[in-house]
Amino acid sequence: MENLVFACAIIGVLGIGAQWIAWRTNTPAIVLMSIAGVIAGPVLGVFTPADAPPDAPPMEALFGEFYRPIIAIAVAVILFEGGLQLNFSEIRGLKQGVRRLVLPGVPIAWGLGAVAAHHIAGLSWPVALLFGGIMVVTGPTVIIPLLRQSKLNPRPAALLKWEGIVNDPVGALLAVLVFDFVAYGGAHGTLSEVISSIVLAAILSGALGYAIGRFAATSFRRGWVPEYLKPPALLTMVLVCFEVANLLQHEAGLLAVTAMGVTMANSKIASINELRLFKENIAVILVSGVFIILTANLTYETILALGWSDLLFILAMLFVVRPVSVFVSTIGAGLPLKERLLVGWIAPRGIVAVAVSSFFGAALLEAGYADGGKLIPLAFAMVFATVIAHGFTIGPLAKALGLAAAERPGVLIAGASPWSIALAAKLKEMEIPVMVADASWRRLKPARLADVPTYYGEILSEVTEHHLDLNRFGYLLAVSGNEAHNALVSTDLAPELGRAAIYQVNARGKDEEDRKALSYTLQGRTFLHSGAPLDDLLRRHYSGWTYQRTKLSEEYPPEQYKNDLVKEHEIVLIVRKGVLSFASEEAPLKPEIGDTVLAYIPKPADAKPASAAAEREKSGAAPSGATPQGA
């Protein structure tokens, strides 16, 4: 292939396509992206230029001198986006645990990894020490997608996220430390002088990241930058921060952009959520593209260079080095045994490990270390092994340890009213996890009396983010009496739950020509097929409408069920194979055999029967094959 634009298009299709398939099948995206890259690269040779040497890495031959800058820029933005997710309020009670995973956790993992690389993988001590430093990383490119997939509880999720993002630049700097000393044979000074220079560069890089982060936060907060320029201005500052720090010390830019991201995450910027969403979207594109590029750059020679000793090394890293380093470093840190077991197993490697290994592997070969060429296949082997092993086990292990929601995704109802509490009570009766959230203790009283789980507090508060575990919920009903509040809740939680899982009622009827109406871009799906406003729903509630649950079957098919329903009914939701689907104005529900249907119907005395069969309901008799239950 010679056409770079066409190559980029294929990379995008493969990367985003793998992400989409992973979402549809609930499988680890990193695994599918890696497989797609291997198939397109060494297997099919899609990206190999016609004039490339037979043993040349295809992507390096295709992109030429742009290959390494592309990877470097992508890693910088990904690490900054990871740092932008790190709010100190997340780790209340976990600061000691996070600190222990970095120090002494990193030195312990470095030492054990280097010993395993030397004695098992057969690397020389200098190369083993360098590779051991690289292998302490557990980057955000793989950790954050795994956390999103597994629905972990906040505490272990925060531990893994903070460790992964903080350790990425630390591992890169350890590799720089070893490389500077072994490659130049002390020409840059004694070991203590090399260490001192790297520590000084790390301090300066961290200070640079902090300074640029504070400048960006102040600029945005004081209105020096207009809203439409904030994302591109921030991206530019990230690249400037990364490159200036790299001029101080090679790979120090990773630390600088991480420090910049953490600084901004804790600076109380009003538009921080919009910036996070923008950066997250960029990070998804970059992660998809870079993983395809790196895996497609493999050659058969690098893959065949691996042997049985390398497999034993990978097993030692998985089952000895990681668990021992975590258990030793967290002694006395106040972490429960279950959390230490989970963290001791989960340590997937990602883009930073591969990118840094690619750079130093080539540099060590040039410096005369023949086994430096093994770093690239070993790094890829570690990435494949860890993302597959940890990607497919984090969910079941977390559930077995009680560190993730074991029940199906529940329903969060934002807004307490007599109608919404009656709906919540019915969902609880159907064994669907549900919670009603409201800022009024008085409005929540009927829910407490009905033994429905409640959350007392403002759902939009930053405090709520750290006290209400949103991983437990797969659906949101924004049903308060304030239409603007419903829209804000829908917009705020859309990145967390997805727009398709958010429904809201309107305070009044929907009118596209109404100048007072909110923009549809700020709202979730309109709840119920009729789009009835809250006033109508409350009127129905006070006039005696009830919820009726019905199981459809071959004996009682959907056609008969529809005939038996009264004309004024509303189908609220269906349960199909354990999956909930709520009715909305945009997507009406079509019940099928095997579904459980929840309908909202008038009391029999007020109803106008749609068929003779419905007369039986007026006398309290259930239709044949149905199981109606009033709320």
Task: Report pLDDT for 116.
Answer: 94
Least confident of 13-27, 161-175, 448-462, 584-598: 161-175
Q: Which stretches of 222-299 are DSSP H helices?
A: 230-248, 252-265, 272-296
* Ramachandran bin of 400, using left for φ above 0, alpha for ψ from -120 to 50, beta for the remaining angles: alpha
Closest residue by Cα to residue 296 from 15, 73, 39, 62: 39
Q: How far apart are CA 214 and CA 101, in angstroms?
A: 27
Is the pLDDT confidence value at 289 over 90? no
Q: Rounded to 5 degrees, what are φ and ψ at 628?
A: -70, 145
From first CA to last CA, the distance across the chain in angstroms is: 65
Q: How far apart are CA 132 and CA 379, in angstroms?
A: 11
* CATH code for the structural domain at 543-631: 3.30.70
**Token pair belonging to 336:** 């429960």
pLDDT tens for residues 135-149?
A: 888 766 677 767 766
Least confident of 331-340, 369-378, 610-619: 610-619
pLDDT tens for residues 547-574?
A: 999 999 988 998 888 888 877 888 899 9
- Report the run of H or E that residue 520 belongs to, with start and end: none
Q: How much of the chain, in percent, has pLDDT values that exceed 70?
A: 86
Q: How far apart are CA 413 and CA 429, in angstroms?
A: 15
Q: Which is it for the CA torsion 464, 468, 474, 475, positive or negative?
A: negative
Coarse DSSP helix, strand, coil percentages of the chain, rounded to the nearest 5 percent: 60, 10, 30
Bigger pLDDT: 64 or 169? 64
Q: Which stretches of 151-251 are DSSP H helices?
A: 154-183, 191-221, 230-248
Contact by Cβ (8 Å): 145, 379 = no
Predicted TM-score (pTM) of this structure? 0.66
Q: Which residues pair with 97 in a beta bridge?
A: none
Peptide bond into 495 cis (omega under 30): no
Is the pLDDT confidence value at 621 over 60? no
What would you measure as the largest C-alpha separation in the chain, in angstroms?
97
Residue 502 burial (10 A CB sphere; 0-12, 13-18, 19+)? buried
Q: How far apart are CA 120 and CA 131, in angstroms?
A: 13
Residue 41's CB is within 10 A of a number of other CB atoms, namely 23
How confident is residue 626, by pLDDT bands cut at 50, 70 and 90? very low
* Ramachandran bin of 251, using left for φ above 0, alpha for ψ from -120 to 50, beta for the remaining angles: left
Is the pLDDT confidence value at 619 over 60? no
Q: How far apart are CA 179 and CA 124, in angstroms?
A: 13
Bigger pLDDT: 2 or 554? 554
pLDDT tens for residues 98-137?
A: 888 888 888 999 999 999 999 999 998 888 988 998 888 8
Helices vs strands, H then E, count in the chain: 26, 10
- Report the run of H or E that residue 435 belongs to, with start and end: strand 434-438
Is the pLDDT confidence value at 382 over 70? yes
Is the pLDDT confidence value at 628 over 50? no
Q: How far apart are CA 410 and CA 48, in angstroms?
A: 48
Contact by Cβ (8 Å): 180, 188 = yes
Closest residue by Cα to residue 495 from 246, 211, 272, 218: 272
Task: Report pLDDT for 474.
Answer: 84
Please, what is the average pLDDT of the chain? 81
Closest residue by Cα to residue 311 from 360, 244, 381: 381
Q: How far apart are CA 285 and CA 29, in angstroms?
A: 13
Task: Report pLDDT for 10.
Answer: 93
Q: Rounded to 5 degrees, what are φ and ψ at 576?
A: -120, 110
Contact by Cβ (8 Å): 114, 128 = yes
Q: How far apart are CA 611 and CA 415, in angstroms?
A: 36
Closest residue by Cα to residue 372 from 182, 185, 190, 194: 182
- What are the CB-based long-range contacts (under 8 Å, 24+) for 325-334? 325/105, 325/108, 325/109, 325/112, 326/101, 326/105, 328/104, 328/108, 329/100, 329/101, 329/104, 329/105, 329/108, 330/97, 330/100, 330/101, 330/105, 333/96, 333/97, 333/100, 334/93, 334/96, 334/97
The Cα angle at residue 147 between residues 144 and 152, in degrees rounded to 5: 150
The Cα angle at residue 76 between residues 300 and 140, in degrees rounded to 5: 75
Report the pLDDT averaged over residues 316-326: 93
Q: How far apart are CA 1 and CA 315, in angstroms?
A: 38
Distance of CA 178 to the CA centre of its chain: 33
Q: HSE, CB side, 13 Å, CA atoms: give it for residue 593.
A: 7
Domain residue extents for the chain? 70-280+305-346+357-400, 407-542, 543-631
Task: Report pLDDT for 612.
Answer: 39
Q: Domain 407-542 is classified in which CATH homologous superfamily?
A: NAD(P)-binding Rossmann-like Domain (3.40.50.720)
